[in-house]
Amino acid sequence: MSEIDKLRDRMDRITFDILRLLKERNDTAKEIGNLKSNLGLGVTNEERENQLRRKVVDLCSEIGLDEKSGLTTLNFLLNESIKIQSTNKPTHMSVFLKAKDMERQGKKIIHMEVGEPDFFPPEIVKTSLSEVYDMGYTKYGDPRGMEGFRQSIASHVAKNFAAKTDPQNIIVTPGARFSIFLAISTLLSPGNEIIVIEPAWPAYRDNALNCGIKVRTIHTSLEKGWEPSVDEIENTINQNTKMLVLNYPNNPTGKILPKKLLDDIMEIAMRKNIHVLSDEIYSSYAFRDWRSVLSYEYEKAIVTQSFSKSHAMTGFRIGYSISSKDTADKMARLQSLALTNVSEPIQYVAMKALEADTTGNTQKIRSRLRILVEKSKAMGLEFIEPDGAMYVFARFGRPQMDTIEFTNKLLDYGVAIAPGDGFGNYQGFVRISACQPEETLNQGMKIIEEVMRREI
Ligand code: PMP
């Protein structure tokens, strides 16, 4: 056997050994997953992962392996375990699926689980929809979005977010969700890390997992006013960390960070040179001082915006991102690959929608939230009054209560709310949404109170 064949033979054996060990590791992860499920524990345990991370760093130095390679491989293994352990857990999705099923059978459900305004888009949307055909918006277009629309967005941003931007920094996407997908997919690579402050809308985590990126969770609590610890964020950042996600006003808590705290977090991100993905889709529902991350003029910030909530245009699938030109170009390349361009008729309609005054929507959600707040207080729920967004995120104050079970039961009484588990490790919490008329919300809250009294 030649020297190279011998080495190749050895290489094969090492590869097979790694695969055998991977199988053993996956089986063990499954066993741990079953135990966690029985004990009602969440899948990810940051403390435990950190212990392992430290041991891996020590091992790397002991055996002379580059630390970055060691930690990147560990991230791959940790994500494998998360995928394995996530499958045997009943999730918040079971509640939504059950609600749909019941509606198909003709049962009436009060929807207080959705983040979708029940009211109509501005009137100008209707008229512009009837104009697009004659205006000739019928062809392929620029993957970044129509120049005129991006110009209008730039003016809108200058007026509403007190930030200077330029059409070359903007790309139009089919909703903020797709901007988030584009940003995570183009700026991060498998084995990289992303920091998500929980509770959080699940798409950040799911997008990261989809790309083989490790999510590092910063847990925040009701007791600490949903404010993340600056030290914890700083200590979580390592050489694999590429992005921090912010979402204020927050879904589900409605929190807006105090200026000083946001300043401190941005200072860390800038010093550590990591991307900041700021999902600002609820900015038109900010009921106290709020500032866009754009105001920091940070080259590595990406802000996502949408017409879904501000203009009640969820079904139109239209939003945009603002970033450096370099990032916008990268995101546009992936958008071009995935869908050529966003439908121009819809872009035209959204451009016209920017002319509408949406303060009525803001007032409507604000007064509905007030109702939810009053009722939740009267029911003895534990929560912090939202500073913005469209939700109350509350705890029932019964530590042993299984919220997935409760929300499932509540459905039998005709009310859908979202269990806290969908937003991270928040058993015992529920998200109640203000996306129904006041009378319906009152009715829904009354039923929740009755079921609470009867069932827990
Ligand atoms: N970001 C957040 C925080 C959300 O809550 C949602 C919708 N629930 C989205 C983005 C999705 O927005 P879009 O409809 O523009 O994709």
Give 272's pLDDT tier (boundaries 50, 70, 90): very high
Cβ atoms within 10 Å, residue 415 = 24
115 within ligand 1 shell (Cβ under 6 A)? yes
Closest atom of ligand 1 to 180 CA is 10
As a whole number of angstroms, the distance between CA 309 and CA 312 comes to 5
Task: Compute the average pLDDT of residues 252-275.
Answer: 98
pLDDT tier at 421, thresholds 50, 70, 90: confident
The protein residue with its alpha carbon nearest to ligand 1, atom 8, reads 115
Q: What is the CATH number of domain 3-85?
A: 1.20.59.10
The predicted-structure confidence for 373-396, as pLDDT tens digits, reads as follows 999 999 999 999 999 999 999 998
- CA–CA dist 319, 171 (Å, integer): 9
Fold assignment, 92-119+359-455: Aspartate Aminotransferase, domain 1 (3.90.1150)
Q: CB–CB of 217/42 below 8 Å? A: no
Tokens 């110009």 sit on residue: 151
176 CB near ligand 1 (under 6 Å)? yes
277 pLDDT more than 70: yes
**For 194, phi and psi rounded to 5 degrees?**
-130, 140
pLDDT number for residue 90: 56
**Stretch among 60-64, 134-138, 275-279, 451-455 having the lowest mean pLDDT:** 451-455
Helix 123-135 to helix 344-353 angle (10° resolution) is 140
Q: How far is 342 from 335, CA to CA, in rounded Å?
A: 9
| CB of 175 sitting under 6 A from ligand 1 | yes
Q: What is the pLDDT of residues 311-368, one digit of tens each?
A: 999 999 999 999 999 999 999 999 999 999 999 999 999 999 999 999 999 999 999 9
- The answer to whether 407 and 394 are in contact (CB under 8 A) is no
Tell me the residue ranges of DSSP E strands in 62-169.
110-111
The pLDDT score that the predictor gives to residue 207 is 96
The response to whether residue 320 sits with its C-beta less than 6 Å from ligand 1 reads no
**Identity of the amino acid at 452:** M
H helices of 310-402, in order, are 325-339, 344-353, 359-378
Pocket probe mutation, ligand 1, options 111, 205, 309, max atoms within 8 Å of Cβ? 309
Question: Would you kindly state where each structural domain of the chain is located, as residue ranges?
Answer: 3-85, 92-119+359-455, 132-353
Opening angle at CA 207, ends 119 and 118, nearest 5 = 5
CA of 413 from ligand 1 middle (Å) equals 28
pLDDT of residue 315: 95
User: How does the average pLDDT of the chain come out, rounded?
Assistant: 94
Ligand 1 pocket, residue 306 CB under 6 Å: yes
Question: What is the DSSP secondary-structure string of 172-210?
Answer: EESSHHHHHHHHHHHH--TT-EEEEEES--THHHHHHHH
Look up residue 166 and give its two tokens. 């330029």
Q: What's the angle, vertex CA 183, arms to CA 325 and CA 204, rounded to 5?
A: 150
Residue 306 pLDDT: 98
- pLDDT band for position 151 (cuts 50, 70, 90): very high
Q: Which of 182, 204, 308 gets mutated to test ligand 1 (max ligand atoms within 8 A of its CB)?
A: 308
* C-alpha 31 to ligand 1 mean position (Å): 35
- Look at residue 399 in the predicted model and tell me its pLDDT: 67
Residue pair 144/170 in contact by the 8 Å Cβ criterion: yes
CA distances from 267 to 163, 261, 286, 298 (A): 18, 10, 23, 10
Burial class (CB in 10 A: 0-12, 13-18, 19+), 404: buried
pTM: 0.94
Measured distance between the N- and C-terminal CA atoms of the chain, rounded to whole angstroms = 73
CB atoms within 10 A of CB 14: 10
Predicted local distance difference test score (pLDDT) of residue 437? 96
- Tokens for 235, please give them: 């200590």
Local confidence band at 273 (pLDDT 50, 70, 90 cut-offs): very high
Residue range 109-115: average pLDDT? 92
Q: Residue 32's CB: how many other CB atoms inside 10 A? A: 16
Cα–Cα distance measured from residue 348 to residue 145, given in angstroms and rounded to the nearest whole number:
10
CA of 176 to the centre of ligand 1 (A): 6
For β-strands 241-246 and 214-219, DSSP reports them as unpaired
CB 207 within 8 A of CB 239: no
Report residue 424 as tokens: 């991270």
In the structure, what pLDDT confidence band is assigned to residue 89 with cuts at 50, 70 and 90? low
- Is omega for the bond preceding 399 within 30 degrees of 0, making it cis? no
* Torsional sign, CA 217, 222, 224, 225: positive
Residue 307 alpha carbon, nearest atom of ligand 1: 15
Whole-angstrom distance, CA of residue 403 vs CA of residue 427: 6
- Ligand 1 site, residue 199, Cβ cutoff 6 A: no
| CATH node for 132-353 | 3.40.640.10
